[in-house]
Amino acid sequence: MRAILSIAVETFLRLRRDKIFLPAALIGLGLLSLSGLASYWGVEEFFKILYDLGTAAYLFTGATVAIFWGHKIISDSRQEGSLEVQLASPVSRSAWLIGKFLGLMAGLLIMSGIFLVGWQGIYSAYGMGWMPTKDVIIFLVLGLSWLVMGAVSILFASLASGAIALFCSIWVFIVGLLSAPVMQALSPETPASTRKLVEIITGIWNLHLFNLSSYGSAKQFVGTQDILSRCGYGFLLVACFIALACLFFERRDIVA
């Protein structure tokens, strides 16, 4: 356990000093600010536009950083040779990989906190006071998708190297965003086998379950049981992807 925490702390410090961190944080804050300005496009739907654009900026910025960081922490360790050095000590490959993910998770949580501060800045700038508790829940649940994509990126980075892992992670992210809309858009004439396949993919891999932006401007918020089920789904995905990553990482050549 101590070895895992040491690797996690080292990974977090490296990510915090990474060149991506500051630009990503500034871009995310800038997009959140633009969502506040763009919400004035529709006076009657101010809050709906605000939440739709704000959550979209939050999702794409964080998921992109999670994908690149997940790929980077594995590929950099291979290129600089620190992977062989750390595994030469009494640390298993699975423990090393889990430590890397925990460090990635800590970095993403820090970035999520920065974005929440930026969201509060929008509320303060428009004289709306403190953001409600439901906003924090909306962004924290959406932040689970960051962790899921970080786990996906680590999985592919442990399976492949270079551009292949990055390419696969990005397309898995796109599929997760499109699965639910595609299922809803299927016509009644769609073959039963095709519909069944799309339903299976949507049931397993659907990133829209983390998006609660539609409740931001609604009078009633989603129930506690629904929130817990969405969180459970997210943590289950993270556990499955990391378990698969550990399984394949234990069996492959670390210098491949």
User: pLDDT by residue (tens digit) across 171-194?
Assistant: 999 999 998 888 888 878 888 888
pLDDT at residue 42, as a whole number: 54
pLDDT at residue 151, as a whole number: 95
Residue partners of 92: CB distance under 8 A and separation at least 6? 250
pLDDT at residue 40, as a whole number: 59
Q: How many other β-carbons are positioned within 10 Å of the β-carbon of residue 213?
A: 19
Please report which confidence band the pLDDT of residue 210 belongs to, taking 50, 70 and 90 as the band edges: very high
pLDDT at residue 41, as a whole number: 59
Q: How many other β-carbons are positioned within 10 Å of the β-carbon of residue 217?
A: 14
Return the HEC string of the chain. Answer: CHHHHHHHHHHHHHHHCCCCHHHHHHHHHHHHHHHHHHHHHCCCCHHHHHHHHHHHHHHHHHHHHHHHHHHHHHHHHHHHCHHHHHHHCCCCHHHHHHHHHHHHHHHHHHHHHHHHHHHHHHHHHCCCCCCCHHHHHHHHHHHHHHHHHHHHHHHHHHHCCCHHHHHHHHHHHHHHHHHHHHHHHCCCCCCHHHHHHHHHHHHHCCHHHHCCHHHCCCCCCCCHHHHHHHHHHHHHHHHHHHHHHHHHHHHCCCCC
Tokens of 20: 């991506």
Whole-prediction pTM: 0.88
Q: Please write the tens of the pLDDT for every residue from 66-83.
A: 999 988 888 877 777 666
Cβ–Cβ under 8 Å, residues 81 and 165: no
Sole residue written with tokens 């423990």: 95
| pLDDT of 98 strictly over 60 | yes
Q: Measured between alpha carbons, how far is 158 from 156 in angstroms, rounded to an integer?
A: 5
pLDDT at residue 255, as a whole number: 54
Q: Measured between alpha carbons, how far is 3 from 5 in angstroms, rounded to an integer?
A: 5
Q: Please write the tens of the pLDDT for every residue from 3-60.
A: 788 888 888 888 877 777 777 777 777 777 776 665 555 555 777 777 888 888 889 9
End-to-end Cα spacing for the chain? 27
pLDDT at residue 37, as a whole number: 63
